Structure 1
């Protein structure tokens, strides 16, 4: 089903039915999303540039955040641009994607309630993109609504390395010994120094386009997450797909490692 389809009376009836099946206590506090398949979407529709897919994906992200907010989700982390993308994507395609992400950050910063936070390595980004993300953070600091993490210039393994480096630097400033550092290093201390430090780990990770892999996304934080894979390409994601994911999550018996 293509973007814009599925808005008839039967669709609305089904959406309402799904919402009634979801209770407030069953809604995940933190949802992470890999909105994959934007390039495929553009190629399947015959566009001469995959930028059309990225723009459609960005529009879908704003829609998706609205669904999360309406349902009572408190934190959302969006995987937008990986370190691997920065190294391997065609330069012209990457430039278009960077412009689209920068505009997305500006658009999200216009929200009167949502808080925007960058998760990733700023030094890997273009000046314009880094400025857009930094400005979005500054403009939304103190907002008490949906907390939106934008994973840009992001890699899960690099995030762990950065967290450990912060711990070592802070320990060194205090004049601690290596023995004390080794003794005090815990999963909790590493978690506190991740890009998402202070936030709950994601309860649910959703990925579109039928791909079933993490792709170096939240590898530490997702240790106990539930996963839900949607066949729809990113721009084709519908609210009923999202509601089904939440309903499925609510039915699962979370064992947290057992």
Structure 2
């Protein structure tokens, strides 16, 4: 696969809990299997040659889940950050984490910062993890940043453009996704990258995230390659 590979794929990794429930297993087991699926998918993405991938790992709304499930997810996140750092280095992966870090435990924030610093010069692939992330909140924070610049006299209101606004988003240094993949059969974007997904192609997969494989990734890319991306312009006629 060399022609028409998306430069940036965003993924909503949905269905860990339902995968576990269907097997009469604790939801925590589903999250562990989801982390394994992520590890394997990154290997596939590097092999295919995808430069950027963003994963919706924990949304701002996920804080409303039970305390026990949140603790399980946060414990898994700690272990993942610790165990995968060497793997990221070896694979040439740069890690970037977006979202509201103020709600994360201090030791997790330190692990994130350490991983970002240690992988900052890697160039094979950039992996963005959206943690404690909400698209609406990201837009609100960007608007506040723009407002502060106007108040301080650093920016004129007439100078506010889409490009100017985009520079205040978490993803300012990252191209917008070409393709969004969501697993579990749900067909919505759930407050994920609301600004950035404006012209992304979307592929919805019935499988739960722990069952998502390299074959499914390739099928999603092949579906993407069939699409005509017009960005609002009229379709070409024969």
Shorter-chain TM range is over 0.9
**CA positional deviation for 1:233:** 0.5
**How does the TM-score come out when normalised to structure 2?**
0.92
**3-state DSSP class of the match of 1:201?**
coil
Question: Which residue does the alignment assign to 1:132?
Answer: 111
Q: Does structure 1 residue 200 correspond to structure 2 residue 185? A: no
Q: Does structure 1 residue 107 correspond to structure 2 residue 86? A: no
**3-state DSSP class of the match of 1:118?**
strand
- Ranges of 4+ aligned residues in structure 1 off by more than 4 Å: none
Q: Is the 8 A contact 1:99 1:129 kept in 2?
A: no
Alignment partners' CA distance in 2, 1:127 and 1:217: 24
Question: Which residue does the alignment assign to 1:19?
Answer: none
Q: Does structure 1 residue 52 correspond to structure 2 residue 29? A: yes
Alignment partners' CA distance in 2, 1:63 and 1:163: 34
Question: Which residue does the alignment assign to 1:90?
Answer: 66
Q: Is the 8 A contact 2:150 2:157 kept in 1?
A: no
Alignment partners' CA distance in 2, 1:108 and 1:255: 38
Q: Does structure 1 residue 142 correspond to structure 2 residue 118? A: no
**CA positional deviation for 1:105:** 2.6
Question: Which residue does the alignment assign to 2:236?
Answer: none
Query: Over aligned residues, Cα RMSD in angstroms?
Result: 1.4
Question: Which residue does the alignment assign to 2:136?
Answer: 157
Instruction: Identify unmatched segments of 5+ residues in structure 2.
Output: 234-238
Q: 1:40 aligns with which of 18, 22, 47?
A: 18
Q: Is the 8 A contact 1:53 1:235 kept in 2?
A: yes
Q: Does structure 1 residue 70 correspond to structure 2 residue 47? A: yes
Task: Kindly tell me the number of residue pairs found equivalent between the two proteins.
Answer: 230
Alignment partners' CA distance in 2, 1:227 and 1:25: 19
**CA positional deviation for 1:108:** 3.5
Instruction: Identify unmatched segments of 5+ residues in structure 1.
Output: 1-21
Question: Which residue does the alignment assign to 2:190?
Answer: 215
**CA positional deviation for 1:238:** 1.8
Alignment partners' CA distance in 1, 2:68 and 2:226: 44
Q: Is the 8 A contact 2:183 2:209 kept in 1?
A: yes
**CA positional deviation for 1:171:** 4.3
**3-state DSSP class of the match of 2:96?**
strand
**CA positional deviation for 1:70:** 0.9
Alignment partners' CA distance in 1, 2:158 and 2:82: 43
**How does the TM-score come out when normalised to structure 1?**
0.85
